[in-house]
A and B are shown apart, each in its own frame.
Chain A
Amino acid sequence: MLKTVLLNRATIVLGTLAVAIIVWNIYIAGNDDGILVGTVVDVSGQPVTDAKVVASELSLISRNVIDIQTTDETGQFRFDRHDHHAMVLQATKDGVGNSRRVEVRLYYQNQNKTLSDALVLDPDVKQGPLVSEQSGSN
């Protein structure tokens, strides 16, 4: 009887789904610090120090600024505890240029991610309307 119930295809399918959901939630619990790391470079590929990187909310109806960070001496920036699943990043530095707006899509809120492509500062790119001189609203 127990074997019949366990080998029933409804049990197998629903059991597999339940296991997959549990495993996925365990993975999320171990990787949800909200750390977003990336690099800013110029058109020649050299890292840019003290570039301002603005993270804006990417939602259906708003583009509010989440946080603003500055790159370090290696051109890296880091956002902590971003608490979003979709963002728009744009970097800027006076005298160097602006980067294109880059959409960052995550599989869940607070997902830790290291951007594979650097934000490239280009003097020909105009600064987007979402970049604010004020501090971030995080």
Chain B
Amino acid sequence: MKSKSYIGTHITLIAVAFLMLVPIYWVVKTSLTGENIFAYPPAMLPVDPHPFFYVDAWYFIPFSRFFLNSVIVATMAIIANLIINALAGYALTKAFPGKRWVILLLLSSMMIPFHATIIPAYLITRDLGLLNTHLGLALPAFSHIVLIFVFKASFDAIPPSLIDAARIDGLSEWRIIYKIMLPLSLPAIATNIILSFIWSWNDFLWPLLIVRDVEMHTLPLGLSAFLSYFESTTGSLYAFAVMVLAPGMLVFILAQRQFVRSMTSGATKG
């Protein structure tokens, strides 16, 4: 009985994984063959694959410029998230007047979608003179409330006696965060890096609003412009899509161990 459920579970997981991977496989296959996506019956295996659609995507659009813009914005977002979220998470581990209301305010703010605040965000960015700039692109992504709570949860798991011992040794609060809290919170750091990178890398709506020049386009914006200019270019379009997705997937694969550890770190407490 036990082995039957074991096999059944694995078969179910393999089937679900297959369903999840089919779209990715289809995009990669079409990027190598350029076949008509409406062809029937569809070819399951690539016929006459070649990499030249990737060459087309590289040269038909300023891919390197768009890539650089996305890298700059994502880097700024990651660094800002690490600093701001770590400091905010550490503050939330302390007892202070109104802490409960602050947490309530943060949690309730998470329920407000970005689309509802996009007009004031645009007006503030304009008044700061940051329209059409890398800083303006990255500014709304400088901190995410959910990532603050990821740090908070990680810092709460550190024994208070360790912090007390550090204070007795004369460490300031800044050095306690830098020397003790952060080194013991590597899964939380990895989670912050992965999610802030993915969210800023794939962001489309905010760049669409504030970018004015083609030179400042990020990759998702460039992809939509590519689609609108060249409608019947399936191979090049899918190749561009793969080139946009690849860095995010690479970052996740490299840091997934830490990411999963962070997600499950509280699961077996007590």
Contacts and interface: CB of A to CB of B under 8 A. Distances in A.
Given A60-B60, A60-B230, A109-B59, A86 B255 contact: no
B51 to A, nearest CB: 8
Contacts of B59: 85, 109
Contacts of B60: 59-60
B254 A60 contact: no
A13 B56 contact: no
Interface in A87-135: 105-109
A107 B236 contact: no
A109 B255 CA distance: 35
A85 B236 CA distance: 14
Interface in B36-79: 50-52, 55-56, 59-60
B233 interface: yes
B250 interface: yes
Contact of B236 (A9, A60, A108): A60
Contact of A108 (B50, B55, B230, B233): B55
Contact of A86 (B51, B52, B250, B254): B52
Interface residues of A, number: 13
> For the side of the interface on B, what is the size category?
10 to 19
A interface majority secondary structure: loop
Contacts of B236: 60
A26 interface: no
B55 A9 contact: no
A61 interface: yes
Interface string A1-21: 000000001100100000000
Nearest to B255: A10
Given A13-B254, A85-B59, A61 B230 contact: yes
Given A13-B250, A105-B50, A60 B255 contact: no
Given A60-B56, A60-B230, A86-B56, 10 more contacts: A10-B255, A13-B254, A59-B60, A60-B233, A60-B236, A61-B230, A86-B52, A86-B55, A105-B50, A107-B55
Interface of A: 9-10, 13, 59-61, 85-86, 105-109
Interface of B: 50-52, 55-56, 59-60, 230, 233, 236, 250, 254-255
8 contacts: A10-B255, A60-B56, A60-B60, A60-B236, A61-B230, A86-B55, A105-B50, A107-B55
